[in-house]
A and B are shown apart, each in its own frame.
Chain A
């Protein structure tokens, strides 16, 4: 019984860690209204100059947002957009767009 408890506790901790880094898509959707103007409401960008985000890997989207914020990636429009976002906001946005249908992982196999 004690062993089972320890095992269960371990599972819960792992779940908590996973959830914490995964971002909350519902919260991301709420924050995504500003993004929609260029990237489309579901991340399928209606204008070819702007990238589609729908279905993109969440960790890539998060990396891009962080690079816009740090200035490593330099884009005046995006710099303005990310300025007010917290790390959690960025995780949530990434989770939301990653969940949408759009981009395809090319598989040459």
Chain B
């Protein structure tokens, strides 16, 4: 691979702590030495690996002040929030800090670089510590070596925050490479929610994004992270997400993935304590020649916990989706309940849905199941609605939105839910005939 990403110039600060310099160097080595994905790797099965390339992308220079202002203006999906950050090409465009009241309770909400400077011990313990196991280790390495934008959220024991933290990541420059980072540390019985939003300035600016998210939830913590990925269709996107949940946690992940030319989404959840309750939702609308490559991993290292996954994809044109999910129940993790559901709605005959729902069970007293279905719009239901005077086009729309509502209705913020419905409607409107 020949890319400017291989030998970065000083994009990151030189006075970083030694532990971080070391993690960055290790990441760089990992990126340079690990082989590019091949079809022979089960973790990349069905993906179009031949056209996957990080060549020609560069960590972008900051956009003009005018552009930054415009993008801040357009960052408007959620108006009530506990804090907000807006980045454009990894440059900070807006930082809306937490209230003095939250700060007094010990809550920390900072951009990555500031958090490293102000809370080195906390960052050394958690920052860049959870890589992916699902195939993109090489790209995690690149992220580690170049990350400079992102949000760090720390909620101390027992602190509950109702309003969400909202982070926007924009791409703007030509062939820009960005590395958004989310780190959430929720101590015992803490509660918080985060929304990460990925947008492009125009329909045409090409970009590479390698985003990493790590959530650490302590005993009894309640964390809800929502992701809205609506890059333009000139973007190569990676989302490498890891959640580690302790005893009695309640963690929810919800992803709306509708953008990018190709989007690789690795989402792994590791349950380390009994009584944990984890939910993973995803919704994808794929059109044109988009490829959505979703790999999930539900690891139950402790018994008596529940994980439940629901991934729904609607496919148009020549788009492709890959859902590859694995539930792993470790030896001794008895009384585990783990579920996995993948539903694919094929709206055009040229679209392709791949499903690889997997189970690895090493304990016997478990309830595990997975289901994957792929099909077209139900002709009987369509007929029923048309009989009652609803035009075919409208009936199909209703059914598609109904298909998604199961995921959208899990969004606990009405404003965001409505904005998501609008995003999906925009993408669909011109498509259903």
A and B interact physically: no
Q: Which residues of A contact B (CB under 8 A)?
A: none
Q: Which residues of B contact A (CB under 8 A)?
A: none
